[in-house]
Every structure is written in C-alpha cells, then in structure tokens.
Amino acid sequence: MLALQNIKVVYGGAIEAVRDVSLTVPSGQIVALLGSNGAGKSTVLKAISAILDAEDGEIAKGEIVFGGSAVTKSSADQMVRSGVVQVPEGRKLFPSLTVDENLTVGAHLQEKASAEETRAYVFSLFPCLAERRTQIAGYLSGGEQQMVAIGRALMSKPKLLALDEPSLGLAPKVVAEIFAAIQKLREERGLTILLVEQNASLALTVSHYAYIMENGRVVLDGSSASLKKNPDVQQFYLGINADQGRMSMRDIKHYKRRKRWLS
Ligand SMILES: Nc1ncnc2c1ncn2[C@@H]1O[C@H](COP(=O)(O)OP(=O)(O)O)[C@@H](O)[C@H]1O
Ligand SMILES: [Mg+2]
C-alpha cells in the first residue's frame, strides 16, 4: 500500500535526518518503525504526511509510492485526501475545544452522515470518551488525549494510519488499552497501520513486520516474530541480556551498539 524508496530528508538544507530509507507497509498490516530518540522516525512520518515544509525540511532524494501512485511531491492536504493520516507525537489537540469539537475538526472532509457514523465508532472504541464528549480536551488525562488524537485521525476516514509514539508518557494500563484499540482498528476496519514506537517490546507484539532505525538509517528489518528472537534486538531494544537478565540501555556504550548493528 505504501512504499518508501531510498528516501533522504534534509532539514535547513544541511542536516541529513534520514538517509536512504526504504520501507514497505502492506495493505491491512501493522508495521512498526522502532529506534531510539533522534533516530529519524518522526521525520519519516513527516515525509509521508508531507509536513516537512513547516520545519524547513525536504525530501532530497527518493520516492514515496501510495496505492500505486508516486506521491513524493503531494501536499499535506492531498495526502490526507488520499487516505494517509498521522497522529503526531504529543497529540497536538486543540486544548480549548471539547472532545466532540476536536473530533469534528478531523471530519472536515467528510459528509455529515459518514462523520456521525465514524464518531459513534470512535466512542465504541474508546467508551471513556463518550462520557467526556463535552469536556475540554486540555483537561483530559494524557491517555484520554491520545484517544482523542486517534479518534480525530479516524474521523478523516484514513486508509493508512501513522501513529507517532502513542505510548509516550502513559501508564501501562492505558497503553494496553490504546494498543488493543490499534489492533481492533486493523481487525474491524481493515486499517493499515504504521506504528512508530520506542516501546519495542509492545510494538513487536502487535506488529507483523518491523524496521529498526539508528542515525537516520534502517539498520535491521524483519518479521516482528523474528526480531523478537534476535539476540541483538533483545539486548539493545528489549533490555534482555542472555547472561545477566534485564539490563539498562544506559549500560551499553553507544559505539558498541553502532558497531554491532553495522557489522
Ligand atoms: N525541524 C528540525 N530541524 C533540524 N533538525 C531536526 C528537526 N527535526 C528533527 N531534526 C533532527 O533530525 C534527527 C531525527 O529526528 P526525529 O525524526 O525527530 O527522530 P525520532 O523521531 O526518531 O526521535 C535528529 O537528529 C533531530 O535532531
Ligand atoms: Mg519522534
């Protein structure tokens, strides 16, 4: 459904944030994009959603293909219309608007009847939002705000939903609820999902295939089941060490990690 071919992204004409990234998101699957802070994950999502302009970034090389057509030069609006919708990092809600109003903003391209059907679905997916529909979004908990952000994205009837670190800063119980909803979206609505996460363990559990990025490049990819069993992934991303049990990422010297991945 979506393919990136040798994508390079440059900010301010100088900073190479993403280098030679190729990835594929097949229709109806959940694909995870993993990696530590600064790896280039959000930049990949911004390239797909065509919102790099706002940060003086540009696709300097490569092609993006969606549904069989080259969309590398499409505008942000065209991408949303063609069905690619992103839930950005930090949720980016309208904090002074209510839950209902935030959802309505997401539906601006939809017919009223279709929007109301989707709104009902959002409330069935996240029942706690139904109780809070007239409340101001800025006063909701972090988890509820993430649910509103996902709901708002759903209101524009995406074919491909790109989620940027939906678990960030949330308690495990809320994260479990949100990941259950992500799986439901694929199963019940046939949505194709590109999931950016730092929580590798969880992301590898719900996804079919995963890519791991470091320093702007994809350093490893494979089926999520195979990556979960990979000793390097276990050590560096799942915090599991064969000799000592769980260990902290902070214990691992950066250079050693680079050497391992690139060797
Ligand atoms: N607007 C920007 N201007 C300049 N550099 C940026 C900008 N946004 C991100 N970067 C740089 O690009 C790299 C990748 O960032 P990002 O895509 O946000 O990584 P991630 O989402 O994996 O944490 C980082 O080195 C970051 O500092
Ligand atoms: Mg990011």
Same domain, 77 and 2: yes
* Test site for ligand 1: of 15, 53, 59, most ligand atoms within 8 A of the Cβ: 15
**pLDDT 10s digits, 41-73:** 999 999 999 999 999 999 999 999 999 999 999
Same domain, 70 and 113: no
pLDDT > 90: percent of the chain:
83
pLDDT (0 to 100) of residue 251: 52
Q: How far apart are the CA of 183 and the centre of ligand 2, in A?
A: 22
Work out the mean pLDDT of the chain and round it to a whole number.
91
* Test site for ligand 1: of 9, 11, 167, most ligand atoms within 8 A of the Cβ: 11
pLDDT (0 to 100) of residue 243: 55
Look at the block and give the residue holding tokens 């439901």: 184
| Residues 6 or more apart whose Cβ sits within 8 Å of residue 229 | none
**pLDDT 10s digits, 167-215:** 999 999 999 999 999 999 999 999 999 999 989 999 999 999 999 999 9
pLDDT (0 to 100) of residue 244: 52
Domain extent for 238: 234-263
Tokens of 1: 């459904």
Same domain, 135 and 41: no
**pLDDT 10s digits, 207-243:** 999 999 999 999 999 999 999 999 888 888 887 665 5
Same domain, 1 and 71: yes
Of 157, 174, 198, the residue at which a domain comes to its end is: 157
In angstroms, how far is CA 247 from the centroid of its own chain?
26
Q: Please indicate whether residue 11, judged by its CB atom, sits closer than 6 Å to ligand 1.
A: yes
> In CATH, what number is assigned to the domain containing residue 205?
3.40.50.300
Tokens of 27: 């229709």
Q: What is the 3-state secondary structure (H, E, C) of 130-172?
A: HHCCCCEHHHCCHHHHHHHHHHHHHCCCCCEEEEECCCCCCCH
Same domain, 153 and 165: no
Q: How far apart are the CA of 166 and the centre of ligand 2, in A?
A: 11
pTM, entire model: 0.91
pLDDT (0 to 100) of residue 234: 87
Residue 90 pLDDT > 80: yes
Same domain, 245 and 167: no
Same domain, 204 and 107: no
Number of domains into which the chain is organized? 3
Same domain, 112 and 217: no
Same domain, 17 and 74: yes
Which residue, by CA, sits nearest to atom 18 of ligand 1? 42
Of 128, 157, 186, the residue at which a domain comes to its end is: 157
Of 106, 125, 157, the residue at which a domain comes to its end is: 157
Same domain, 98 and 77: no
Q: Please indicate whether residue 33, judged by its CB atom, sits closer than 6 Å to ligand 1.
A: no
Same domain, 183 and 249: no
Same domain, 193 and 219: yes
Q: How far apart are the CA of 54 and the centre of ligand 1, in A?
A: 13
pLDDT (0 to 100) of residue 241: 61
